[in-house]
């Protein structure tokens, strides 16, 4: 039903975990971003921005959807799960989804780049993005002190934020002193769909030295393009 074009990144995991949670059948098409496959003409027909993930819904006349948040909304609406149908409930989920899209993802992504990948050690840039990522984590922690999940019930908002926050160490950002965030991370980590989703398109251990070396090499290649 769904063709998933993805790679081992937080944004890719957002969609693969969502598909697993929804129990939707899908076929995986790995797009190796370290080789620039996301810039190939065939993929650009699906996502003109040349970024993963993207999907094609074969059941809907080969309808293509790109941008991870838009894909999650599309899939949740299609399945009638992980997204409330009432206006206020849907808005709460959308707000926390956009919080990840506009805040956690970009800020933590930049922290990753300057802390882990950039060829020069630019400490002001590292401090800026690590501090802002940590601030965003405190916002999540405060919210999770009020509610078990970000929008009340478990939803695509939790999946989106979890996919990024779970690799906080890769950006050099601590979650010490954020007990609600830690509780939430551990709870989602135990979900079978989350465990399966982060092995798509292939298992990856970002904490292993070999995986780190490959990630750094890939990122440096991307920075040069």
3-state secondary structure 91-121: HHHHHHHHHHHHHHHHHHHHHHHHHHHCCCC
- pLDDT range class, residue 203, cuts 50, 70, 90: confident
21, 81 Cβ separation under 8 angstroms: yes
The pTM of the full predicted model, rounded to 2 decimals, is 0.91
For 102, the token pair is: 């506009």
* Inter-helix orientation angle 123-144/179-189, to 10°: 80
The structure tokens 């969609």 sit at 15
pLDDT averaged over every residue in the chain: 92
For residue 3, count CB atoms less than 10 angstroms from its CB and return exposed for 0-12, middle for 13-18, buried for 19 or more. middle
- Residue 131 has, within 13 A of its CA and on its CB side, a CA count of 6
Question: Can you list the alpha helix ranges (DSSP code H) found in the chain?
Answer: 10-22, 41-44, 68-79, 87-99, 105-112, 123-144, 156-165, 179-189, 192-197, 209-223
Tell me the per-residue pLDDT of 20-48, one tens digit each, with 9 for 90 and over: 999 999 999 999 999 999 999 999 999 99
Report pLDDT for 222: 41
| CA quadruple 120, 124, 128, 133: dihedral sign | positive
Report pLDDT for 141: 98
């Amino acid at each position: 039903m769904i063709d998933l074009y993805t790679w081992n990144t937080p944004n890719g995991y957002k969609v693969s975990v969502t598909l697993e949670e929804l129990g939707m059948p899908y076929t995986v098409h790995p797009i190796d971003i370290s080789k620039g496959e996301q810039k190939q003409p065939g993929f650009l027909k699906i996502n003109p921005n040349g970024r993963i993930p993207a999907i094609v819904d074969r059941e809907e006349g080969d309808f293509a959807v790109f941008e991870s948040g838009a894909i999650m909304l599309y899939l949740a609406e299609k399945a009638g799960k992980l997204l409330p149908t009432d206006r206020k409930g849907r808005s709460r989920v959308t707000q926390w989804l956009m919080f990840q899209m506009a805040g956690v993802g970009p800020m933590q992504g930049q922290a990753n780049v300057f802390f882990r990948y950039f060829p020069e050690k630019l400490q002001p840039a590292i401090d800026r993005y690590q501090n802002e990522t940590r601030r965003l984590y405190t916002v999540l922690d405060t919210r999770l002190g009020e509610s078990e999940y970000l929008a009340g019930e478990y939803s695509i908002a939790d999946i989106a934020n979890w996919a990024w926050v779970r690799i906080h160490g890769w950006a050099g950002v601590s979650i010490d002193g954020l007990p609600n965030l830690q509780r939430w991370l551990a709870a989602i980590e135990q979900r079978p769909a989350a465990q399966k989703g982060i092995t798509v398109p292939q298992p990856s251990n970002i904490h292993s030295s070999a995986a780190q070396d490959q990630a750094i090499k890939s990122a440096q290649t991307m920075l040069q393009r």
